[in-house]
Amino acid sequence: MKSFILYCTAIFLTTMTFAQGMVDPKPVEENRYEGKEQDPYLFQDFAKAVATKFKTGETEEYLLNYNGYTNAFEIMHDGKLCEMNATYFDVIEVAEYTPSKSYSDKFVSPSLKFVKGVNASAPRKFSVVIVEDESATLYKDFAVKISTREMNDPIRGVVERESFSPSFHYYIKLGDETKPIGLGKQKVVNQLADDKVSSYMKKNKLKIKTEKELVQVVAYYAGLQGAAPLASASSK
């Protein structure tokens, strides 16, 4: 973790000046996860991001990472690791990033667009919007929990090891209704319940094992609803 922080500090000092409009960054303990395996971050390194305020149209640039355990963006401010105050932002876009090694490439998008309030039950939460359309919106949440397992140590005997376990949860919003969806052919068939979608997947030999395939099917489904589907959010 220390090397990670030092690396990000170096980037901050040499390549970027943070926006001056940032309000009340909250310092966090850099070593709070010491002893735990892996880490709770979405990116390997801090990534450049543009944060937008819809009410004013203002944008600010940051170097940040997303912590799936605390559901918060983290930045370097005055050489300290801090939680970003994202209260006044509606969209945070990351054009390029190196994904964490903790999860598979099947979950990776070329870019990420965090949007606040996509999930009506959590209006202050940011979710990653993947497909935007009047008929269907596909988004995902990145979540991390701590898992504990017992291991035999030749000296200490049975010891407990804690590690971060990352996961992605996909949702599709159809009109005013939001349903969980995910990777896997049967999950898509169950939620979309459309014979044309089933035929489309069969014709194109799609088993929905990757996010890319899921995006392809949802975009096709949106087109069936009478509106031309927009490009995936990650390609904008």
Task: Calculate what percentage of the chain has a pLDDT beyond 90.
Answer: 52
Nearest to 92 by CA among 165, 136, 43, 44: 43
End-to-end, the C-alpha distance of the chain in Å comes to 32
pLDDT for 72 beyond 80 = yes
The pLDDT score that the predictor gives to residue 57 is 85
pLDDT in tens, 26-65: 999 989 999 898 899 999 999 999 999 988 889 999 999 9
Count of Cβ atoms closer than 10 Å to residue 3 Cβ: 7
Q: What is the pTM of this model?
A: 0.81
Mean local confidence (pLDDT), 1-26: 50
Q: Is 131 exposed, middle or buried (0-12, 13-18, 19+ CB in 10 A)?
A: buried
The pLDDT score that the predictor gives to residue 23 is 60
From edge to edge, which strands make up the β-sheet containing 137-153?
Answer: 26-27, 80-83, 72-77, 59-67, 47-52, 91-94, 112-116, 126-131, 137-153, 157-174, 177-181
Least confident of 114-118, 127-131, 222-226: 222-226
Mean local confidence (pLDDT), 191-204: 91
3-state SS, residue 100: coil
**Ranges of H-type helices in 38-108:** none
- What is the distance between the alpha carbons of residues 73 and 62, in angstroms, rounded to a whole number? 10
